[in-house]
Structure 1
């Protein structure tokens, strides 16, 4: 006897699941300007590659004959698929089913997605909208009891931070456990004006005495500037493309190495613009990002976290096809000084590079930690010391290029001085314990106070110091290994990437990365 009837029943139930929350709820999703979870999955993955797991999970009602009368699928869709031919796990919230509330969730599906990613060493992309399976007070009446809070399968969320690349796209209102899932990732994105993220939404906040709308409480303008979320984009398609691009630099897991892409740029290319990229006037600002475009493979720099910790630029790029992690000082923000936020950004970024075996290239322009009362109140030195610790704990190959300033404790953090200093300096390099311009008054305070003409004496002292602050004097004492023509930077960095590639070792890092 054939099982054909059972297969037909299977297909009927699968079709019911694909209705999601029904035509009215799907229309409501479209009216809000958002895609459905299944459309998001289709746009993320290579065509035809999605293999869904648990499609039949949900809540069914049956007629008196025992036949299924209706079916409400669980508001979480997951499975496997391909991105650029490489396998991943994709897990998405279905906002059309009870707005992502817990009374429509099956918690085992979220845990299964995270566990599959971990045990099969597959990157995971979370498409988050709603509470992500968190609780709502309505569930008290439905379940008939309250529960002591627990985050289901959170052990897998924690484990994945140290094991596989994790990407979170916040694609609508995201609250509670959903918000925690969004930030517990290596790369996260919000859509401007479309997604919001908060611990609790406006109605709950109103109960605590504060009236605010969703955007004012947790819009992307807030969370991409406080560091909770890495990046902000204009559309869902841009968010999906950002996820795909991020994954292109990553290995499948810590047990593999980041893949080399086909070489598309000349490793020996010397960009003429670099010779005058740094102004001779030390007080004059310049633009760092064009320098990054000049030295890395063309169009390969992928910036992460542009809107927060803005005195440091972080991102991924390629050198002769090899993926690398990039840090660079940004002189247009606090002169490149490390703030508390920048220090936290560095810590998290270096830990990610260490986790996924990405060599680091650091283009250095750092006048030190940001000074002043606001900096002290922000505990900048504690956050800065954590960043310094991350750099000293990193074992991945590391190359520093000092393009301008390197002063004080933060300037010293341009590399781990205990390791082989694979380091270059441009002739524009300027370093020391304190900048001459800021430290002169403190060092010569008594002399200036006793002078008949303090202004003239200050100018005389500054002239003397400027004669010995040349990087060539440092090179004479081997305080800097090499001073190079800036136009040689790309060929030398490509050499570094090729030397570093065989040194990379797969396997877990010595410590698990945290959000």
Structure 2
């Protein structure tokens, strides 16, 4: 008969004893200490908890699925030798009436302090090998302590999620009875979002509260082949909605990176770790510190010749806005967030002359530069991130207005559009606009006219007004066009030509309605100088207000 899990655990613990006793003989001070028995008992549990059992069914399942063990994940994510575990002997243990240990199972939640790129943070990870990451194997106080420690110490927290991560398991009813479900520690989880950077990787199934912990973050990432996220798994869904689904079709990586639940898709776990490290490198440890400035060998006065003709003269022809961004920011510093969702909204972090900035723009090749419900939500979330951590925002503007039509109305586009408008006006980080092409309607105005004074420039390709000229002509000259009959197009072209003369951005600049028209090649030098001024003159005083009064706008995930 095969040994039970309890028998196996006790046998492994006992096998550790002889090794530790031999080690104690090599430590004369410990050998003579009256605390030797307690010290060895502590060490025995630490060694057991930190040593994988290659024959364990949970571990075999983890490796079969192509996943790393939680301690391997931590080792590969943090700076070598910097992880200090908290709760290193936390476990579920049972004793008989004589006080003899008869059952032992380590907590399936690992947490502690570490360094990443030389900076302090709290790292917390689920061990899916034990009870599938369910809460009844977690010793829940460890998770709560990790969240509270990060908040009190004002350092980032990174969650490596693989399981329910605090949610319930039906089997707990047999031992604890039915309970009103608690959300212990949720106040700390929510509060952290307005104080410290919070990032998560869904490295397996993130279910229930685990799914909430993955999304209550500033940045989340998921590996394509092994990550998934859902409120309830396939068995529960089948019973409730009679749908037959797999983890991938229900809440796989491609599903949730396309709807914005998870920010970024990763190739594998190491890619997840690399993206989180990069994300954190742009942010301060907390909202009372300045963003970290890096050395920069990209010349401030670099003028990229390709920018001169990167936007076609014909307005109907698209261009790639990311090609503009990477030519303006420091080389190699562009880090996009949420590339797979948002209906054309482009958001990310970058450095300009070594200074971290938030970047917003629009990919007009997808949605024709009109803001949908999804793009509005994506912009709002990114603006909140920049506002909490004091990142100046550089806006590459090309917004043709809010999307219209029955689908747009069903998606509450105006509601979400009004929300991003409020975010633009409420956030108080420095904000600079480079108008690339279209600025129309309320949407366009909100993105370029939200400061006093507005700090903005325009390229010669700038095109603006209350609404796009082509559609405006059809509305304003409706009777004349209808009366033209067969000559409608000829009349339309004549009217359009008359408006084209007044459409010139030069005329707008003559009235000082746009502060400056610039050579596109000079964008980087101009933006570099603006960002430097914000870091030297504006952000320090803003930071003092945050230290005294707290953040003006609480982060809304």
TM over 0.5, yes or no? yes
Is 1:301–2:334 an aligned residue pair? yes
The equivalent of 2:9 in structure 1 is none
User: Which of these residues, 492, 497, 504, is aligned with residue 463 of structure 1?
Assistant: 497
Alpha-carbon distance in structure 2 between the residues aligned to 1:74 and 1:103: 9
User: Which of these residues, 506, 530, 549, is aligned with residue 496 of structure 1?
Assistant: 530
User: Which of these residues, 264, 277, 281, is aligned with residue 231 of structure 1?
Assistant: 264
Is 1:168–2:161 an aligned residue pair? no
Shift of 1:92: 0.5
The equivalent of 1:142 in structure 2 is 175
User: Which of these residues, 429, 447, 452, is aligned with residue 414 of structure 1?
Assistant: 447
Shift of 1:376: 1.2
Q: Is the 8 A contact 2:193 2:218 kept in 1?
A: yes
Alpha-carbon distance in structure 2 between the residues aligned to 1:167 and 1:385: 28
Q: Is the 8 A contact 2:266 2:272 kept in 1?
A: yes
Matches of residues 193-232 of structure 1 in structure 2 within 5 Å?
A: 193-208=225-240, 209-232=242-265
The equivalent of 2:474 in structure 1 is 441
User: Which of these residues, 337, 343, 358, is aligned with residue 310 of structure 1?
Assistant: 343
Which runs of structure 1 show a deviation greater than 6 angstroms over 4 or more consecutive aligned residues? Answer: none
TM value normalised by structure 2: 0.90
Q: Is the 8 A contact 1:83 1:244 kept in 2?
A: yes
Matches of residues 378-457 of structure 1 in structure 2 within 5 Å?
A: 378-451=411-484, 453-457=487-491
The equivalent of 1:16 in structure 2 is 48
Is 1:50–2:92 an aligned residue pair? no
Alpha-carbon distance in structure 2 between the residues aligned to 1:334 and 1:54: 51
TM value normalised by structure 1: 0.98
**Structure with larger Rg:** 2
Shift of 1:371: 1.6
Q: Is the 8 A contact 2:344 2:363 kept in 1?
A: yes
Deviations 1:450-480 (A, max 9, x none): 2352221101000000111010010011110
Unaligned runs of 5+ in 1: none
What SS is found at the alignment partner of 1:439? helix
Moved more, 310-319 or 499-508: 499-508
> Cα gap change, 1:59/1:38 in structure 2, threshold over 3 Å: closer, same or farther?
same
Higher relative contact order (CA 8 A, sep 6+): 1
The equivalent of 1:322 in structure 2 is 355
What SS is found at the alignment partner of 2:417? helix
Shift of 1:104: 0.8
What SS is found at the alignment partner of 2:495? helix
Shift of 1:434: 1.1
What SS is found at the alignment partner of 2:365? coil
Q: Is the 8 A contact 2:459 2:517 kept in 1?
A: yes
Alpha-carbon distance in structure 2 between the residues aligned to 1:4 and 1:69: 22
Deviations 1:50-72 (A, max 9, x none): 00000111112447764545521
Q: Is the 8 A contact 1:89 1:113 kept in 2?
A: yes
Q: Is the 8 A contact 2:426 2:553 kept in 1?
A: no
Count of equivalent residues: 514
Matches of residues 75-90 of structure 1 in structure 2 within 5 Å?
A: 75-90=108-123
Matches of residues 50-199 of structure 1 in structure 2 within 5 Å?
A: 50-62=83-95, 66-68=99-101, 70-143=103-176, 145-199=177-231
User: Which of these residues, 291, 296, 304, is aligned with residue 263 of structure 1?
Assistant: 296
Alpha-carbon distance in structure 2 between the residues aligned to 1:436 and 1:380: 22
The equivalent of 1:510 in structure 2 is 552
Shift of 1:416: 4.2
Alpha-carbon distance in structure 1 between the residues aligned to 2:222 and 2:474: 47
Question: Alignment RMSD, CA only?
Answer: 1.4
